[in-house]
Amino acid sequence: MRRLGPAAPEVTIEFEGKPLPAREGEPAACALLVAGETVFSRSIKYHRPRGPFCMAASCSNCLVRIDGVPNRFACQTPVRQGMRIERQNAYPSVKVDVFSSIDWLFPKGMDHHSMFAGVPVAEKVMATVARHLAGLGLLPDAAPPPARPAELLRVDVAVVGAGPAGLAATEVLATAGKPPLVLEQEDRVGGRDALDAPEDGRDGPARIPAGAQLRLGTSVLGLYDDELGRVLLAVQRDPEGARVLLVQARDTLFAIGGHASTLPFENNDIPGVFSGRAVADLLRRRRLLVGDAPIVVGHGPQLLPLAALLRAEGAAPRLVLHTGEGGQPPGTVQGTPSRAHGRTWVHGLSYRVAPGGERRVDCDAVALTLPPSPAFELLRQAGVKIAFRPELGTFTPDVDSDGRTSIAGIWAAGDLVRPGTASAAVEAGRRAARGMLQR
């Protein structure tokens, strides 16, 4: 992990009681990785090493204790001068963790339901041990300051997610004189156009059109239907702190894409294995290169652009492993990852090729780029039907080609509906906006 080019002013943070240089405002995870701290904490059951994977608050691999508060996402918490970061769930230290022996005792997994069941003394001992090993962080040091008052917003149209689909929809709505409220989780608009590797024919993120009201740093957490009517629960986080937003909209377009997915292979959870989005985001937004000799694994529209982006930034990918079915893209090897090598950081990958045969390639990072798993949760909560698509290997919501769902006032577009290219997401966003205007 190394820095490319200049960054924000340097500050000093405290990690496990020791001073560490960091760049103001970057996520705490970046500061730790650059300092060579690869293991942030130990995992909950087997005490396996954990370091950042998704950099998008969609997994739990980067949780640490920050300023006396347990289980904070290091990938989401901006560095400030004097910030205190501590590891979790490791005894006596993260390097020598006695409980990592559990990982060796249960090589494949464990069925805690039947373990020692009914064996008089063993059962009692196990219950006591389990109780003390459970949980991640310790209680917070202190109570938080009183929360800022919640804000209630009533709008005609809310667009959730300012990626290609959301921005395209916003553009159409604004042009028609109906600019929406746009809620974006990140600190900038653009979604994959800003954070992922640039795809063919895309020249960066679209702008937010005039008239649209934009809330950055705002995650939508729930879609409730209660005394207030249908209401979105959102939390906006900015340097002054966090506050709750309650949004009531006649129409809501969900364009929130998906979550980073995983592939099952041995040691797929060790530090140094990142989601493709994380690798691209670290490069583009944070100017950090995860490795000089990485391996790119996966399939979908990001596989080749990510390899190209890494090359353009001076890395030499050791292997681009295509795991998808159908046409094998040029310059890739067709295969399935079988095992990542390394303990506290990945240093190699074994993979199977047809017909039979396993190869191993050394590396200093792995980028796992797969089509995202649609983030259908909020749509499901609204009552939209969700179905498993074996050909995609994910669940998708039931949405028509104009972004309409079976629930009045609930629309969806982009990767959330069907993982694809950024250009396809733009088209879907536009169609959904036109549909909303016709209503």
48-107 residues in contact with another protein (CB under 8 A) are 48, 50, 53-54, 57-61, 63, 69-71, 103-104, 107
- At its nearest, how many Å lie between another protein and the CB of residue 96? 17
**Which residue, 114 or 438, has its beta carbon nearer to another protein?**
114
Q: Contact with another protein (CB under 8 A): which of 2, 95, 112, 360? A: 112
Identify residue 254 by its one-letter amino acid code.
F
Binder to another protein among 130, 176, 316, 408 (CB under 8 A)?
Answer: 130
Q: Which of residues 233-292 bind another protein (CB under 8 A)?
A: 233, 235, 242-244, 246, 259-269
Regarding 29 and contact with another protein (CB under 8 A), the answer is no
Tell me how far, at minimum, the Cβ of 34 lies from another protein, in Å.
23
> Smallest distance from the beta carbon of 349 to another protein, in angstroms?
13
Smallest gap from residue 128 Cβ to another protein (A): 9
By CB under 8 A, tell whether 110 contacts another protein.
yes
Count of residues in the chain? 439
Name the minimum Å distance from CB 90 to another protein: 12
| Residue whose CB is less far from another protein, 203 or 227 | 227
- Residue 132 touching another protein (CB under 8 A): yes
Q: What is the DSSP letter of 398?
A: -
**Maximum CA extent, the chain:** 73
Contact partners, residue 244, CB within 8 Å, separation at least 6: 147, 150, 151, 233, 234, 235
By CB under 8 A, name the one of 143, 210, 330, 354 that touches another protein. Answer: 143
- Is 341 in contact with 360 (CB distance < 8 Å)? yes
In the DSSP assignment, the letter for residue 193 is: H
Tell me the three state secondary structure of residue 336.
strand
Q: At closest approach, how far in Å is the CB of 353 from another protein?
A: 19
Under the binding rule (CB under 8 A), the answer on residue 226 touching another protein is: yes
Spatial CA neighbour of 403 closest among 377, 384, 422: 384
Contact between 144 and another protein per CB under 8 A = yes
127 near another protein, judged by CB under 8 A: yes
Q: Which of 7, 35, 136, 293 binds another protein (CB under 8 A)?
A: 136
Span between the terminal Cα atoms of the chain, in Å:
51
Residue in the block written with tokens 């079915």: 325
Please tell me whether residue 35 binds another protein under the rule CB under 8 A.
no
Contact status: 40 vs another protein (CB under 8 A): no
Q: How far is the CB of 50 from another protein (least distance, A)?
A: 7
Q: How many residues bind another protein (CB under 8 A)?
A: 99
Among 22, 223, 247, 255, binds another protein (CB under 8 A): 223
Residue closer to another protein, measured from CB, 314 or 383: 383
- Closest contact distance (angstroms) between CB of 320 and another protein is 22
Min dist. Cβ of residue 134 to another protein (A):
4
| Minimal distance, residue 327 CB to another protein, in Å | 21
What's the min distance (Å) between Cβ of 149 and another protein? Answer: 6
Whose CA is closest to 158, among 178, 133, 136, 137?
Answer: 178
Cβ-count burial 166-176 (b if 16+ within 10 Å, e if not): bbbbbbbbbee
**Is residue 4 within 8 Å of residue 313, measured between CB atoms?**
yes
- 38, 77, 219, 302: which one binds another protein (CB under 8 A): 219
Q: Which residue, chain included where needed, has tokens 């396993």?
A: 358
Question: Is there binding between residue 8 and another protein (CB under 8 A)?
Answer: no
Residue 18 within binding range of another protein, rule CB under 8 A = no
Instruction: Compose the 362-381 pattern: x for residues touching another protein by CB under 8 A, - for all others.
Output: -----------x-xxxx-xx
Cα–Cα nearest to 402, from 425, 429, 426, 432? 432
> Which residues make Cβ contacts (< 8 Å) with residue 171, sequence separation at least 6?
206, 209, 430, 433
Q: What is the 3-state secondary structure (H, E, C) of 34-95?
A: HCCCCCCEECCCCCCEECCCCCCCCCCCCEEEECCEEEEECCCCECCCCCEEECCCCCECCC
Out of 25, 80, 116, 250, point to the residue binding another protein (CB under 8 A): 116
Residues 6+ apart with CB under 8 A from 147: 242, 243, 244
Q: How far apart are CA 153 and CA 173, in angstroms?
A: 18
